[in-house]
A and B are shown apart, each in its own frame.
Chain A
Amino acid sequence: MSDAARTAPAAGNRAAPDRATLLAAARAVPDPELPVLTLGDLGVIRDLRMAGDGAVEVDLTPTYTGCPATAVIAADVQAALRRAGADQVRVRTVLAPAWTTDWMSDSGRRKLRDYGIAPPGPAAHATEGPVMLAFSVRCPRCGSADTREVSHFGSTLCKALWTCRSCAEPFDSFKAV
C-alpha cells in the first residue's frame, strides 16, 4: 500500500509535489534574456518525469546551440523545482526535435509585441528557396507593415534588427526558425 510513502523524501513534512505542479513551476520560470516570457511561452521545457530514483528529470531544449542563456535557464529551473518541493532535480539538454519558434505560445507572442519585439512569423517558410524570403514584419510600436530589415542578426541569437518606415523607430524582430 505505502510504497510511495516509504520512498518519499524523508526531509520535511510536506507531501511530494505531483508532476503537474512541478511542470507548471518549471514552465513559469522567466527567460533570463527576455523576462516577459516564461519558459512555457518559449516552449523550451520538453518533458518532465519522476525518475525511478525519486529525482525529477526535466528535458530542456536550447533555442540555439550557442545560446549563452542555456546554462542560466537550467540553473533557474533547478532552483524553481526545489522551491516547488522537489528534492533532487536533473536537467537534461535535448537537441531533437529541434526547437522552433512555432512552439511559442499565443500569449508569449502577445507579451513580446507589448514588450516592443515583433513576434516570429511561421517558421515553415524561413528556409525555402536560395535566398530567404523576409515576410513583412509589423512594427510592434505603431502596427505598420511598412518596415524593413536592417540586419539578419540582432542583440541576441534569436532576434534580427528591423526599422519602421512609418514611425521611424528601430525594433527587434524574433527570427522565425
Chain B
Amino acid sequence: MTGVRTSQPLAAYALALGDDALILAQRLGEWVARAPQIEEDVALANIALDLLGQARTLLSYAGEVEGVGRDEDDLAYQRDDRDFRNVQLVEIPNGDFAVTMARQLVFSAYQYELYTALLTSGDPTLAGLAGKAVKEVAYHRDHATQWVLRLGDGTDLSHARMQAGLDQVWPYTDELFDPADQMPGVAADPAALRPAWHGYITEVLSEATCHQPEPRWRSRGGRDGLHTEHLGHLLAEMQHLHRSHPGATW
C-alpha cells in the first residue's frame, strides 16, 4: 500500500492527526493490567479509547477525501511504518509511569490547543470532531497535570523520576510544532499552537517544582514517514490479526 497522495493536503492532514491519535491509543493500551493502580488501568484505557475514537473519525475522513476507496481499517492495518505520518513522540515506548505522564502532559496540552484552533476550521468534519474532542482532551490534560504535580512536588524519589521522565520526552516535543502544509482557514498552523501550549506547560512544571529540559538533540521527520525502530514493533502487534485473517469479523 502506498501513502496518501501528497497532492491532497487535506487528506494528508487528517491522516497525520489520525495517526498521532491511533499510535498513542495503541501505546496507552499497553498499560492495561500494568499500571500502578487499578484506577490508572481504567484511566489510561479510557484515554486510549477516546484517542481511538478520534483516530477513527480522522482516518475515515482521510480515506474519504483521498477518494480511492480506502476505509479506516485499510489505513490503520494495511500501511507499513514508512507510510505512517505520526510524530515520533507518540511511538516511543511507554517507559515508566512518569515517562508516560510526561508524554501525556505534552501531548494532551498540544491536542487541547490543536482542537481549540480547529473549532473554527472551515472544514465541517474537522470542526465537528474538534467540538467533541476538545472536551475529551480537557480531561486527559487534567489527568496528566494532576499526576505531574503529585509526582513532581512529592517525595525526593518521585520528583527525581518525574524530572527524568520529562528529560526523556522533551527531545520529541519540537516536532509537534514543525511547519506543515499551509491550509489557512482549514488546518491549524502548528507553530501558532506553541505559545499557549508553552504557557500551560510552564505553569504546570513550575508548580510541580520541575524544570523544563533543554535537550541537545531533537526528533524530526515523523510527518514524512521517518520513524524510530519502535514503530514497526508496535505495528506488528497492532496489525497482526487483521493481516493474518483479512476481513475477519466476530
Is the pair B42, A155 in contact by a Cβ cutoff of 8 Å? Answer: yes
Q: Is the interface of B mostly helix, strand, loop or mixed?
A: helix
Assuming the A-B contacts A132-B138, A153-B39, A153-B46, are A95 and B129 also in contact, with contact meaning beta carbons closer than 8 angstroms in the complex?
yes
Determine which of B49, B134, B142, B145 lies in contact with A66 in the assembled complex, contact meaning CB atoms within 8 Å. B49
Is the pair A177, B135 in contact by a Cβ cutoff of 8 Å? Answer: yes
Interface size on A, residues (CB 8 A): 27
Interface-facing stretch out of A37-45, A50-58, A123-131: A123-131
Q: Collect the chain A residues with CB atoms within 8 Å of residue B135's CB.
A: 98, 126-127, 177
Determine which of B40, B132, B134 lies in contact with A64 in the assembled complex, contact meaning CB atoms within 8 Å. B132
Residues of A within 8 A of B (CB): 62, 64-68, 94-99, 126-127, 130-132, 150-155, 157, 161, 175, 177
Is the pair A150, B132 in contact by a Cβ cutoff of 8 Å? Answer: no
Q: Collect the chain A residues with CB atoms within 8 Å of residue B53's CB.
A: 62, 64-67
Is the pair B57, A153 in contact by a Cβ cutoff of 8 Å? Answer: no
Bound: A27/B10 CA distance, A: 36
* Interface membership of B200, Cβ < 8 A: yes
Q: How far is the CB of B232 from chain A (nearest CB, A)?
A: 25
Is the pair B143, A65 in contact by a Cβ cutoff of 8 Å? Answer: no
Bound: A131/B53 CA distance, A: 24
Q: Pick from A62, A66, A95, A152 the residue with the most CB of B within 10 Å.
A: A66
Q: Collect the chain A residues with CB atoms within 8 Å of residue B142's CB.
A: 131-132, 152
Q: How far is the CB of A167 from chain B (nearest CB, A)?
A: 20
* Interface membership of B203, Cβ < 8 A: yes
* Interface membership of B128, Cβ < 8 A: yes
Interfacial residues of chain B within 1-56, with CB under 8 A of chain A in the complex: 39-40, 42-43, 46-47, 49-54, 56
Is the pair B143, A152 in contact by a Cβ cutoff of 8 Å? Answer: yes
Interfacial residues of chain B within 190-239, with CB under 8 A of chain A in the complex: 200, 203-204
Q: Collect the chain B residues with CB atoms within 8 Å of residue A62's CB.
A: 53, 132
* Interface membership of B93, Cβ < 8 A: no
Is the pair B51, A130 in contact by a Cβ cutoff of 8 Å? Answer: no
Residues of B within 8 A of A (CB): 39-40, 42-43, 46-47, 49-54, 56-57, 124-125, 127-129, 131-136, 138-139, 142-143, 145-146, 200, 203-204
Is the pair B57, A65 in contact by a Cβ cutoff of 8 Å? Answer: yes
9 contacts between A and B (CB under 8 A): A65-B129, A66-B56, A96-B124, A96-B127, A96-B128, A127-B138, A130-B204, A153-B39, A153-B43
Chain B residue at minimal CB-CB distance from A161: B39
Q: Pick from B40, B50, B54, B132 the residue with the most CB of A within 10 Å.
A: B132
Determine which of A66, A96, A155, A161 lies in contact with B131 in the assembled complex, contact meaning CB atoms within 8 Å. A96
Determine which of B47, B54, B56 lies in contact with A153 in the assembled complex, contact meaning CB atoms within 8 Å. B47
Is the pair A65, B54 in contact by a Cβ cutoff of 8 Å? Answer: yes
Chain A residue at minimal CB-CB distance from B38: A151
Besides A65-B129, A68-B49, 4 other A-B contacts (C-beta < 8 A): A66-B51, A127-B135, A131-B142, A153-B47
Is the pair B50, A157 in contact by a Cβ cutoff of 8 Å? Answer: yes
Q: How far is the CB of B141 from chain A (nearest CB, A)?
A: 9
Q: Collect the chain A residues with CB atoms within 8 Å of residue B131's CB.
A: 95-98
Bound: A157/B134 CA distance, A: 14
Bound: A33/B51 CA distance, A: 20
Is the pair B52, A66 in contact by a Cβ cutoff of 8 Å? Answer: yes
Q: Pick from A65, A98, A131, A154 the residue with the most CB of B within 10 Å.
A: A65
Assuming the A-B contacts A65-B50, A95-B131, A96-B131, are A151 and B43 also in contact, with contact meaning beta carbons closer than 8 angstroms in the complex?
yes
Q: How far is the CB of B175 from chain A (nearest CB, A)?
A: 24
Q: How far is the CB of A93 from chain B (nearest CB, A)?
A: 9
Q: Collect the chain A residues with CB atoms within 8 Å of residue B125's CB.
A: 95
Bound: A177/B134 CA distance, A: 10
